[in-house]
Chain A
Amino acid sequence: MILALAVLAGLFVAVLPSVTDAQLIEKIFVTHTGGVVKTTGEVIDPVYVESSMEFDPMEYLRDFDYGEISTLADGTILREFTITAEDDKIMEVAPGVFYNVWTFNGTVPGPTIRATEGDIVRINFINNGSKTHTMHFHGIHPAEMDGVFEPVGPNGGKFTYEFVAGPVGVHPYHCHVMPLEEHIVHGLYGVYIVDPKESRAPADEMVMVLNGLDTDFDTENNFYAANTIPFYYQHHPIQINTNELIRIYVVNMVEFDPINNFHLHGNLYHYYPTGTYSVPSFYTDMITLSQTERGIMEFEYIYPGKYLFHAHKVEFSEKGWTGIFLVSDEDSAVGS
Chain B
Amino acid sequence: MELGGKSSRAKMVASGVIPFIFLVVLVVYIFGPGSDMLDLGVPLPEITIEKIDFVDSEIIATVRNTGPIPVEIVMADVNDRFQPAAVEPDRFLERYEASKVRIPFEWNVAEPYTIGLTIQDGTRFERDVKAAAPALESSLELFAFFALIGTYVGVIPVAIGLLWLPFIKKISRAKYHFFLALTAGLLLFLAIDSVEEALAVSGESLSDSFNGALLVATVVVLSFLGLYHSGERLVGTARKSKISKPLAIALMIAIGIGLHNFGEGLAIGAAIGLGSIAFSTFLIVGFAIHNTTEGIAIAAPLSREKMMLGKLACLGMIAGVPTIFGAWVGGFAFSPFMTVIFLSVGAGAIFQITLVILRWVRENDQSLSSAPVASGLAVGMLVMYITSILV
Residues of A within 8 A of B (CB): 1, 4, 7-8, 11-12, 14-20, 23, 27, 29, 31-33, 35, 37, 39-48, 93-99, 213, 215-216, 222, 230, 315, 318-320
Rounded to whole Å, the gap between the CB of A303 and the closest CB of chain B is 29
Residues of A within 8 A of B104 (CB): 31, 33, 35, 37
Rounded to whole Å, the gap between the CB of A110 and the closest CB of chain B is 21
A213 B89 Cβ-Cβ under 8 A: no
Interface-facing stretch out of B120-128, B269-277, B363-371: B120-128
With A4-B223, A33-B106 as known contacts, state yes or no: A97 contacts B118, CB within 8 Å: yes
Q: Counting CB contacts under 8 A, is B84 at the interface?
A: yes
B90 A23 Cβ-Cβ under 8 A: yes
B87 A1 Cβ-Cβ under 8 A: no
| Option from A14, A42, A222 in Cβ contact (under 8 Å) with B91 | A42
Known contacts A20-B89, A37-B86, A44-B75; 13 further A-B pairs (Cβ under 8 A): A11-B341, A15-B98, A17-B100, A35-B57, A42-B87, A44-B73, A44-B91, A44-B101, A46-B75, A46-B82, A97-B121, A98-B120, A216-B124
Residues of A within 8 A of B57 (CB): 35
Rounded to whole Å, the gap between the CB of A52 and the closest CB of chain B is 13
Rounded to whole Å, the gap between the CB of B369 and the closest CB of chain A is 33
Q: List 15 A-B contacts (CB under 8 A).
A: A4-B223, A12-B337, A15-B335, A23-B89, A27-B86, A33-B106, A41-B99, A42-B88, A44-B86, A96-B91, A96-B120, A97-B74, A216-B122, A216-B123, A315-B80
**Docked complex Cα distance between A19 and B229 (Å):** 39
Residues of B within 8 A of A213 (CB): 122
B84 A47 Cβ-Cβ under 8 A: yes
B75 A94 Cβ-Cβ under 8 A: yes
Please, what's the 1-or-0 string for B107-145, where 1 marks a CB less than 8 Å from any CB in chain A? 000000000001011111000000000000000000000
**Docked complex Cα distance between A320 and B83 (Å):** 11
A12 B338 Cβ-Cβ under 8 A: yes
**Docked complex Cα distance between A14 and B124 (Å):** 25
Q: Counting CB contacts under 8 A, is B317 at the interface?
A: no
With A37-B102, A39-B86, A320-B82 as known contacts, state yes or no: A17 contacts B97, CB within 8 Å: yes
A97 B122 Cβ-Cβ under 8 A: yes
Q: Counting CB contacts under 8 A, is B81 at the interface?
A: yes
Residues of A within 8 A of B89 (CB): 17-20, 23, 40-41
With A37-B86, A41-B88, A320-B82 as known contacts, state yes or no: A96 contacts B338, CB within 8 Å: no
A318 B86 Cβ-Cβ under 8 A: no
**B206 closest partner in A (C-beta):** A15
**Docked complex Cα distance between A216 and B82 (Å):** 16
Taking residues whose C-beta sits less than 8 angstroms from the other chain, chain B's interface range is: 35 or more
Residues of A within 8 A of B97 (CB): 17-18
Residues of A within 8 A of B76 (CB): 44
Q: Counting CB contacts under 8 A, is B192 at the interface?
A: no
Rounded to whole Å, the gap between the CB of B123 and the closest CB of chain A is 4
**Docked complex Cα distance between A8 and B259 (Å):** 15
B84 A44 Cβ-Cβ under 8 A: yes
| Option from B58, B85, B120 in Cβ contact (under 8 Å) with A97 | B120
Q: Counting CB contacts under 8 A, is B237 at the interface?
A: no
**Docked complex Cα distance between A95 and B102 (Å):** 18
Rounded to whole Å, the gap between the CB of A221 and the closest CB of chain B is 11
B337 A1 Cβ-Cβ under 8 A: no
Q: Counting CB contacts under 8 A, is B96 at the interface?
A: yes
B84 A96 Cβ-Cβ under 8 A: no
State the main secondary structure of chain A at its contact with B. loop
A97 B81 Cβ-Cβ under 8 A: no
**Docked complex Cα distance between A12 and B57 (Å):** 31
Q: Counting CB contacts under 8 A, is B72 at the interface?
A: yes
**A18 closest partner in B (C-beta):** B97
B82 A318 Cβ-Cβ under 8 A: yes
B124 A222 Cβ-Cβ under 8 A: yes
B118 A31 Cβ-Cβ under 8 A: no
| Option from B75, B101, B120, B227 in Cβ contact (under 8 Å) with A1 | B227
Residues of B within 8 A of A46 (CB): 75, 82, 84
| Option from B99, B123, B230 in Cβ contact (under 8 Å) with A17 | B99
Rounded to whole Å, the gap between the CB of A171 and the closest CB of chain B is 30
A45 B84 Cβ-Cβ under 8 A: yes
B219 A41 Cβ-Cβ under 8 A: no
Interface centre among B62, B85, B123, B229 (most CB of A within 10 A): B85
**A51 closest partner in B (C-beta):** B74
Residues of B within 8 A of A320 (CB): 82
**B84 closest partner in A (C-beta):** A45
With A42-B91, A213-B122, A222-B122 as known contacts, state yes or no: A319 contacts B226, CB within 8 Å: no
Residues of B within 8 A of A216 (CB): 122-124
Q: Counting CB contacts under 8 A, is B222 at the interface?
A: yes
Residues of B within 8 A of A37 (CB): 58, 86, 102, 104
B226 A1 Cβ-Cβ under 8 A: yes
The 10 closest A-B pairs by CB, nearest first: A215-B122, A96-B74, A41-B88, A1-B226, A39-B86, A45-B84, A318-B81, A17-B98, A4-B222, A31-B104
**Docked complex Cα distance between A213 and B123 (Å):** 11
Residues of A within 8 A of B225 (CB): 1, 4
Rounded to whole Å, the gap between the CB of A96 and the closest CB of chain B is 3
**Docked complex Cα distance between A42 and B101 (Å):** 9
**Docked complex Cα distance between A96 and B227 (Å):** 51
Residues of B within 8 A of A16 (CB): 98
A319 B90 Cβ-Cβ under 8 A: no
With A1-B227, A1-B229, A99-B122 as known contacts, state yes or no: A48 contacts B84, CB within 8 Å: yes
**B335 closest partner in A (C-beta):** A15
Please, what's the 1-or-0 string for B224-257, where 1 marks a CB less than 8 Å from any CB in chain A? 0111011000000000000000000000000000
Interface centre among A18, A19, A35, A97 (most CB of B within 10 A): A97
Q: Within B181-238, which residues are at the interface with A (CB < 8 Å)?
A: 219, 222-223, 225-227, 229-230
